Amino acid sequence: MRLALSAAALCLSAGIAAAEDLKFANFMPPTHPYVAGAFQPFADMVAEKSGGALTVTLYSGGELGPGPVEQYSRVLDGVAELAVSLPGYTASTFPLTLVAELPGVLSTETGTADLWENIELFEPEYRRAILVSLWSSAPNVLYTRDTPVRSPEDIKGMKIRVPSRNTGLLVEAWGATPVSMPVSEIYNSIQTGVIDGAMIDTTATRAFRLGEVTKYLTMGMETTNSPFFILANRQAFNDLSEEDQNALREAGREASVLANETQLAVAADGVTAFAGMEGHEVIELSPEAAAAFDAAAAEVTAQVVAETGGDAQAIVDALKP
């Protein structure tokens, strides 16, 4: 079966020039705000900009295979011509892109525009797949099940889910134990006590129902964000005409803006929704209360930039507000 699937994928990839439809693998459910806010508009823009030569069909909810971590492999293997994922799930492949997620590097309001104004700094990492879309997100904040967190002392010893290695370093610097897991596993892991909380942006209140399994939300400290991207299979892309390649790239850049706008709006609503739940508390740290968190965050940023090397410092200099 595995050989048959691989053969089918190779044949599809080789024949993409003759095909009108590109499969878009989305691990999120069809009800996720990104679908209506960015992914379907992206598909519509591809069709419009290509004059109908290209169409994009969304396969949501892991229809082409479950799990967000595997999305990158699905693009490389040709299971899908397009896929959305997070570079943090394959951190060793995208160290420069992940410099943009470090505390203090990107502005929440202008982050996506800043990424695209400096996109040439990231393109060398995309040799195996084509970067079609890239956007920043609202900051990752701390959801906790039973314990309010107002200082690093409060988080010590907790097991906290993290979306990437860099966020893991941050959580560790605060005194907690980072636990790497995809977003789809957070709800059950908090509910059953496998973890004590999660670092994720506040779209998770509704989109992943974290308001049902946590009581506290701590925000106001310098923290990471989680960039998202849409990638294309390189062979499939190369088989397109130059006009269709340009249509795909243009639609992808415009979709980056839509996705970021959607994400920030839903994240703001997530804070309001959490605050309105009975027995829940949003802890907005004052600058004085955030200072200890921020000092640790600055050390993590400096450490990762030094370890990454290459253009890492140039990326920080270009993006930092």
Supply the CATH number for residue 289's domain.
3.40.190.170
Give the Cα separation of 61 and 205 in Å (integer).
Answer: 18
Mean pLDDT of 40-58: 96
* Residue numbers of the domain that contains 122: 2-137+226-266
Report pLDDT digits (tens) over 153-164: 999 999 999 999
The reply to whether 285 and 302 lie within a common domain is: yes
pLDDT at 253: 98
The reply to whether 27 and 150 lie within a common domain is: no
Report pLDDT digits (tens) over 243-256: 999 999 999 999 99
List all residues 6 or more positions away from 160 whose beta carbon is below 8 Å from its beta carbon.
142, 171, 176, 177, 178, 179, 195, 196, 197, 198, 199
Residue with token string 């802890």: 283
Q: What amino acid occupies position 70?
A: E
- Are 104 and 303 in contact by the 8 Å Cβ rule? The answer is no
The reply to whether 40 and 126 lie within a common domain is: yes
The reply to whether 54 and 127 lie within a common domain is: yes
Q: How many domains does the chain have?
A: 2
* Stated pTM of the model: 0.87
With cut-offs at 50, 70 and 90, classify the pLDDT of residue 8.
very low
Residue 4 confidence (pLDDT) above 60:
no
Q: What amino acid occupies position 203?
A: T
List all residues 6 or more positions away from 104 whose beta carbon is below 8 Å from its beta carbon.
222, 297, 298, 301, 320
H-only helix segments in the chain = 2-14, 33-34, 40-49, 71-77, 111-117, 152-155, 165-173, 186-191, 204-207, 234-238, 242-275, 287-308, 312-319
Instruction: Find the largest Cα–Cα distance for the chain.
Output: 61
Residue 3 confidence (pLDDT) above 90:
no
The reply to whether 163 and 75 lie within a common domain is: no
Residue 259 confidence (pLDDT) above 90:
yes
Residue 304 confidence (pLDDT) above 80:
yes
